Structure 1
Amino acid sequence: MKMERVRLIDGLRGLSLFGILLANMLIFQYGMWGKDEISYFSLSNLDTGAYKFIKIVVEGSFMPIFTFLFGYSLIKLVESLRKKEVRARWHLVRRFLLLIVLGILHSTYIWEGDILFFYGLMGFFLLFFINRKVKTLIIWGAILFLLTSSMNYGVLEETKELEEKLSTYITKTNNIYANGTYSEISYHRNNEMPPLFEEEFLMIFVIILAPFVTAPLFLFGMAAAKANLFTRPRKEQKWYKVGAVLLPIGLALKSASILLQENAWSAMLLNVGAQLLSVGYISLFALLFVAFSNSNVFLAFESVGKLSLTNYIMQSIICTSIFYGYGLGLFGKLGMLNSIILGLGVFVIQCVCSFLYLKKFRRGPLELLLRIGTNFSLNGSVRTRKKVKLENTPSS
């Protein structure tokens, strides 16, 4: 039973990394801001179709899976630490601080699309919920989901001045990322902010809102771990079937948001659709796992999932080397369809390398580093408290 649970969770983590890679291909090739201003790039009809496919089917719907699994793994880590009679909170604090440091290094020296920094910060927020009951976690998650989904996000009015600034920024970014040296790209990434960052109120609003928008999936993952979901896949199939129904609903809502003109309604449909689609993907994957758990495909996802941190960073290193000027310089030139094919190729290579690596080693290099820092021991093992012998203690 334990083995099945671990395999399914690792497989889901591998699936999320695959989707995150495909979604990030938009950023690797068109930039963090250019990906949503695709008119700056000359896409063929085929590439336009591929672009819409990624926006609807992939973008925004695989990161929530990773978020859900972060919450799930957090509770399982706490349970493991408590069985060894150690103070879980200090281990978690060290883990979250390490994620923050890794995130800063990642975004500063490799790529601006980092998620580790945010996950580390969210970890401290989640500390308030680790002792809550399943029911409490679900209620809080549902309340935050309803509140953030029904909010009128509004659309920032793009004045002519703002449009001109954004156009200048994207054009400059395209040129530097496609032709610049490593130092030129690093300087631009770390020092030249997009014009939207000049809107102080907007930035404060986003910083305050972001934790609450993402919190539901973290909390639902924690609730799932406390309820021991995914520990008995064959007996849980009926729940997977219910969740899989959300897949077409999520696709429909996201499709509608793409077709609608950009406004508060389209933003709400996109957010809700992305979350529902995530649950649909989790459920469908779990259903397929029950039937084909020993297939090479699921073994591949599992292998990547076991080395999720290392593979995530490697995706950034590989893709920036392909698209940026200090590498092959294909920024904005490869085309959307070709970038999807490239993403598939990179992930297949990661599957093979991860499978072969795990034949000799138990953990990836970054996973081991995180474990050493979390447990504060050179070999990465948990240091349990020494029990004091009481035989010779004088009685009062």
Structure 2
Amino acid sequence: MTINNRVNMIDGIRGFSLFGILMANLLIFQYGLFGKDEISLLSLSATDLFAYKLIKIFIEGSFMPIFTFLFGYGMIKMKESLERKELKVKRHFVRRFIFLGAIGLVHSTLLWEGDILLLYGMMGFFLLLFMNRKSKTVLVWGIILLLLTSLFGYGNESGTIEDKAILEQYVKDTFEIYGSGTYNEITYHRNNVDPLNLPDYMYIVLLLLAPIASAPLFLLGMYAAKKQRFTDPAKEQDLYIKYALFFVPIGLLLKSLVYIIPNQSWVGIGSLLGANMLSLGYIYLMALGYKQGTLLFKSFEAVGKLSMTNYLLQTVICTTIFYGYGFGLFGKLGIVNAFFLGIIIYSLQVSLSYLYLKRFRSGPFEKMIRIWTYFTLSGKPRIKASIENKRIA
């Protein structure tokens, strides 16, 4: 398989993950980061409640890890590319992670609380510890952290009556402010009102633990790249089938148990593990579909090539639709209607991305990160004289 075809498949999987991320994030865009889980306060219809559960099982928590997997995968491929060009590896990664963190900070502060780019910038520095490790070491750590985060990540949600009252009031205030407030009112509420009532030091602890808690799929992506996975679909087809048939059913079962056997803490632990297993299943299912040459899968490529631009564009579009300074549909559209809205938004992104790439090679934010990473106006790495001489020879 050629390098271009391999990259196209990775772009296709990345574009597919952006579809699921949009569908999951529509719960946050429409109900808020905390409101989406306070289902008893939403007064959903029976149809919307059913759709809500389907999104929770099939989508939420299982598409973002695909993005993280590909981030780890891309780190190793970028490292290999930098080494071939005899460039400083860590120096370029540090610049890249600083840029991601900066964009994420601006995104989360000025636009939306569901940002992931700040976490990715932080996560990158943690992943540097594993970049030169053996593939087996990376795999072992990935599995260990996957089990640990599933075991301890599902905390005690009971809380005190006072804590629940504070959270419920926060959700109600969010509905009112986000639905009809000005940009300044919404921004102030997002950045200054604390629904968890935690001491300041706890936020520092959570900030430091965040990279570790989200590490498993990053590491498994690095492992896959080190093992040269997704480089030869013809030879790997049986592997795709085996892993898709293993991870998808188990992941769906574990995530469904929350609704089959409610109010059991161990079920919540299984749900977190199931979300990551389903992510792996979707990755191999997508790779299998790509191998078959399905047009639907190939349509994801253009979105994946402009992944950062499209991710940020989703925020601009959805906050305009739902927030008070836009159309003010916060909490009013419903789950089913929002699902179809998501399909429309993503379809537009597919079309616009395809047309954009007819004229340009990379998106505006993709271009910016390359310029910053390589410190060149062209956004391309500098070619050393020794490498250039080898090419001429």
Coarse TM-score class (shorter-chain normalised): over 0.9
Partner Cα separation in structure 2 for residue 167 and residue 146 of structure 1: 32
> Which residue of the partner structure matches residue 223 of structure 1?
223
User: Within 5 Å, which residues of 2 pair with 1:148-187?
Assistant: 148-151=149-152, 153-187=154-188
Partner Cα separation in structure 1 for residue 193 and residue 62 of structure 2: 29
Once the two structures are overlaid, the 10-residue window that deviates more, 133-142 or 23-32, is 133-142
> Which residue of the partner structure matches residue 365 of structure 1?
364
Shift of 1:3: 2.2
* Helix, strand or coil at the partner of 1:278: helix
Q: What are the Cα deviations for residues 25-77 of structure 1, in whole angstroms up to 9, with x where unaligned?
A: 00000000000002211211000011111111100000110000000001111
User: Within 5 Å, which residues of 2 pair with 1:35-46?
Assistant: 35-46=36-47
CA contact (8 A) 2:147 2:273 kept: no
Q: Does 1:90 align with 2:79?
A: no
Once the two structures are overlaid, the 10-residue window that deviates more, 158-167 or 34-43, is 158-167
Partner Cα separation in structure 1 for residue 43 and residue 223 of structure 2: 46
CA contact (8 A) 2:286 2:297 kept: no
Partner Cα separation in structure 1 for residue 30 and residue 20 of structure 2: 16
Partner Cα separation in structure 1 for residue 249 and residue 154 of structure 2: 25
Partner Cα separation in structure 1 for residue 53 and residue 165 of structure 2: 25
Shift of 1:309: 0.2
Shift of 1:116: 0.2
* Helix, strand or coil at the partner of 1:234: helix
Shift of 1:154: 3.4
Stretches of 4+ aligned residues off by more than 6 angstroms: none
> Which residue of the partner structure matches residue 114 of structure 2?
113
Partner Cα separation in structure 1 for residue 381 and residue 267 of structure 2: 48
> Which residue of the partner structure matches residue 210 of structure 2?
210
Shift of 1:86: 0.7
> Which residue of the partner structure matches residue 381 of structure 2?
382
Once the two structures are overlaid, the 10-residue window that deviates more, 360-369 or 203-212, is 203-212
* Helix, strand or coil at the partner of 1:332: coil
Shift of 1:208: 4.4
Length-normalised TM-score, structure 2? 0.94
User: Within 5 Å, which residues of 2 pair with 1:299-314?
Assistant: 299-314=298-313
Q: Alpha carbons of 1:197 and 1:81: their partners in 2 closer, same or farther (altered >3 Å)?
A: farther
User: Within 5 Å, which residues of 2 pair with 1:228-239?
Assistant: 228-239=228-239
Partner Cα separation in structure 2 for residue 65 and residue 152 of structure 1: 19
Q: Alpha carbons of 1:366 and 1:139: their partners in 2 closer, same or farther (altered >3 Å)?
A: same
Once the two structures are overlaid, the 10-residue window that deviates more, 67-76 or 222-231, is 222-231
CA contact (8 A) 1:155 1:263 kept: no
* Helix, strand or coil at the partner of 1:128: coil
2:16 counterpart letter in structure 1: L
Once the two structures are overlaid, the 10-residue window that deviates more, 156-165 or 354-363, is 156-165
Aligned length: 385
* Helix, strand or coil at the partner of 1:359: helix
Partner Cα separation in structure 2 for residue 205 and residue 352 of structure 1: 43
Identity over aligned pairs, percent: 54
Q: Alpha carbons of 1:377 and 1:180: their partners in 2 closer, same or farther (altered >3 Å)?
A: same
User: Within 5 Å, which residues of 2 pair with 1:36-115?
Assistant: 36-115=37-116
Partner Cα separation in structure 2 for residue 384 and residue 276 of structure 1: 41
CA contact (8 A) 1:4 1:232 kept: no
Shift of 1:262: 4.1
Structure 2 segments unaligned to the other structure (5+ residues): 388-393
Q: Alpha carbons of 1:89 and 1:347: their partners in 2 closer, same or farther (altered >3 Å)?
A: same
Q: What are the Cα deviations for residues 216-239 of structure 1, in whole angstroms up to 9, with x where unaligned?
A: 111111111111110111110111
Structure 1 segments unaligned to the other structure (5+ residues): 389-396
What is the alpha-carbon root mean square deviation over aligned residues?
A: 1.7
> Which residue of the partner structure matches residue 12 of structure 1?
13
Q: What are the Cα deviations for residues 75-129 of structure 1, in whole angstroms up to 9, with x where unaligned?
A: 1111111111110110000000000000011011111100000000000001111
Partner Cα separation in structure 2 for residue 152 and residue 318 of structure 1: 32
Q: Alpha carbons of 1:75 and 1:145: their partners in 2 closer, same or farther (altered >3 Å)?
A: same
Partner Cα separation in structure 1 for residue 329 and residue 106 of structure 2: 24
1:211 counterpart letter in structure 2: P
